[in-house]
Amino acid sequence: MSSSKLFPDSPIEYLKGVGPQKAIALKEQLNIRTLGDLIEYFPFRYVDKTIIHRIDEINQEAAYYQLLGKIQSLEEKGFGKSKRLIAIFQDGTGFLELIWFQNYQWIRQKLETGKEFIIYGKLNLNGFQKSMAHPELEEVNPTIPKTKLRFDPVYSSNEKLTAKGLDSKGIRRILFHVFQNLEPLSISENLPDYILRKYQLPARYNCLLTIHFPSNDKDLHLARQRLKFEELFFMQLRMIRAMHLRKSKSTGFKFDLHKSAYLNFLITRLPFQLTRAQLKVLDELTSDLSTGKQMNRLLQGDVGSGKTIVALLVMLLAGTNGYQACIMAPTEVLANQHFQSIKHLLTDTEFSCALLSSNVKGKERETLFSQLAAGQITILIGTHAVLEDPVKFQNLGLVVIDEQHRFGVEQRAKLWGKSNSFPPHILVMTATPIPRTLAMSLYGDLDVSIIDELPPDRKPIKTLHFTEILRGKLFEFMKEQIRLGRQIYIVFPLIEESEKLDIENLELGYEKLLESFPMPSYQIAVVHGRLRPKDKELEMQRFVQQRAQIMVATTVIEVGVNVPNASIMIIENAERFGLAQLHQLRGRVGRGADQSYCVLMTADRLSPDAKNRIQIMCQTNDGFVIAEEDLKIRGPGNLDGTQQSGLIALKVADIVEDQKILIEARKLAEAILLRDPELQQAVNACLKLQMDPDTSSQNLAIIS
């Protein structure tokens, strides 16, 4: 290309070395559309070119090594899908097998016996046999002078990109050209001077150059810290600013708290006393509802902490103010449970409730729609069916979403759109405790309430670990508990790869159970996802009505079953479950006054990771402690609901590793917006440009 200036929104195809075909691949595979996108496509690791290992000294399985040697022989083996290319690599101290599986033709053209290569890859050990699968390799050309040894950036790629010459090296070449021709002053700062001075942050241009082409560990660390801080700071600034704008400008239904006398009357009718935590949260919610601004609040509470009764009380506050309320649950089981408990509490009151699910059909469904539109139904409880177009409210004032991570953003927006004049107040609830840093990242624009105590009459659940060799002892314990009148859950894991295998696993377990718990002395209910809703409900009711002492189920019971007499939860193959799911399942028991138990059944031999999870479960019942540990083990992208949210697709920061940076970034964002809510002060001009990009000038120029 010519040396004309290019800006961040300049199409990527205009950069030298890209062109139309590569640009299409970059857009489709990496969502890189502009030069700005490319510069912020960071390496995920680096190869230290200063270290060359010898074959005779590499001995750590799964460790990465860089080697210098020659290809001694090449051979294709196998047929069809098992076909592979094998090269024997040697460096004078030993031999190493290099393996490429399908679609290796492109690499076959580069390989030639006798040629010298630098290879880099993960070591596999099989006895004394050393091998590397799909190593990176670079031909050593003696006619070209060797460049100064340095850190080599490695970029994520895939087969489609590689086919277009956009493997890690191809991306590196393009970026190398960019920074050779990039004027440092063309990248303007996006952080004010007072922030740079306070945290002693290096210039942004230097950080971008260093993260792609570092010369040493110290500079790389400083660059990464600056870019992590920047990323987390702007994430928090956007969230907090959005929350401030909503609170200052959004209009919502104003609930008159003087009409809450009926609410107090209902509280006195409850068969239990509300905990201090419930009362505190109720005060926070009613305070929001009385401001005339739309409430957007997240309610966290461990399994059994009493979130539903708090939600019901504020729904009744909506009713006393002449508004309708809606609670949406992810499963029919949970929706029906809410309906039964709410219907019971509304007995002999002026308020009405109705259940809408796929089981409500025909004339009954039409009547419900008509009553809802006429305002004759105060509280609607439902599943996804609530989102259907025929569902119309007369005056929807409050929406409660239970287990909110089960619903996508579009689904929630569709429900909110069913209100007439103003958007309804929103209360989202979750029984999955969310670590503080994850809550900041996912729900930083919501107010958060936490019910952090269980009812005083609840006995802590005792968690026990049994291995297969102790199964006989477990059966004796189960029979003893059944003689005492208790009921038992037995849960089998969900095998994501195959629902069929999941059911077969459950059925095999059921057959083995019958050998020790034969009918008619024992009755066993069976529940899984493939049962028809009618049959599933029949089996559930057998257990609820104590006509069956044991329920064998898949994780379909994770959410929504409340049987106070069930005091034992046995989780088969517990090593297959994550911490959060184990904790959810454990919360299905402990609802009554009896001592409850959770038994984690595992294989006799466990991996270190599985052993760690089991130990954590046996040591604590605190959902927030478990959530923090789960976040450390699995990372934010694998926790329930976070993948679909798209809110934590961070480029360089990690909310687990960088918790201190995240907390400091949020404190700074809050302090800035407290002093300058609209970011109108001259010192915050660059922040204003970042928050309102449509009004910003171009701040990145590339000379090519």
In angstroms, rounded to a whole number, what is the distance separating the alpha carbons of residues 526 and 554? Answer: 9
Least confident of 30-34, 253-257, 262-266, 402-406: 402-406
pLDDT at 400: 92
Per-residue pLDDT at 597: 95
Q: What is the pLDDT of residues 26-48, one digit of tens each?
A: 999 999 998 889 999 999 988 88
Amino acid at 622: D
Taking residues 476-486, what's their average pLDDT?
94
Could you confirm whether domain 462-623 is CATH 3.20.20.60? no
Whether 579 and 630 have beta carbons less than 8 Å apart is answered as yes
Torsion angles phi and psi, residue 636, rounded to 5: -70, -30
pLDDT for 646 equals: 39
The residue with greater pLDDT, 298 or 405, is 298
Greater confidence (257 vs 404) lies with: 257
Q: How far, rounded to the nearest angstrom, does the alpha carbon of residue 355 sit from its chain's CA centroid?
A: 30
pLDDT of residue 489: 93
pLDDT (0 to 100) of residue 258? 73
Q: Tell me the per-residue pLDDT of 179-222, one tens digit each, with 9 for 90 and over.
A: 887 777 778 899 999 999 999 999 999 999 999 999 888 999 99
Q: Which of 97-101, 521-525, 612-616, 646-650 has the lowest mean pLDDT?
A: 646-650
Average pLDDT, the chain: 83
**Does residue 633 register a pLDDT over 80?**
no
Residue ranges of domains in the chain? 51-148, 257-451, 462-623
Residue 700 has pLDDT above 50, yes or no: no
Q: Are 446 and 428 in contact (CB under 8 A)?
A: yes
Query: How do 447-451 and 462-467 pair as beta strands?
Result: unpaired
On whether the CB atoms of residues 544 and 337 are closer than 8 A, the answer is: no
Distance of alpha carbon 458 from alpha carbon 593, whole angstroms: 6
Q: Indicate the CATH number for domain 51-148.
A: 2.40.50.140
* Domain pair 51-148 / 257-451, same fold: no
Give the mean model confidence (pLDDT) for residues 503-516.
Answer: 80
Rounded CA separation 129/220 (Å): 36
CATH class of 257-451: alpha beta
Confidence of residue 494 (pLDDT cuts 50, 70, 90): low
Contacts of 440 (CB under 8 A, 6+ apart): 236, 655, 662, 663, 666
Rounded distance between C-alpha atoms, residue 698 and residue 188, angstroms: 9
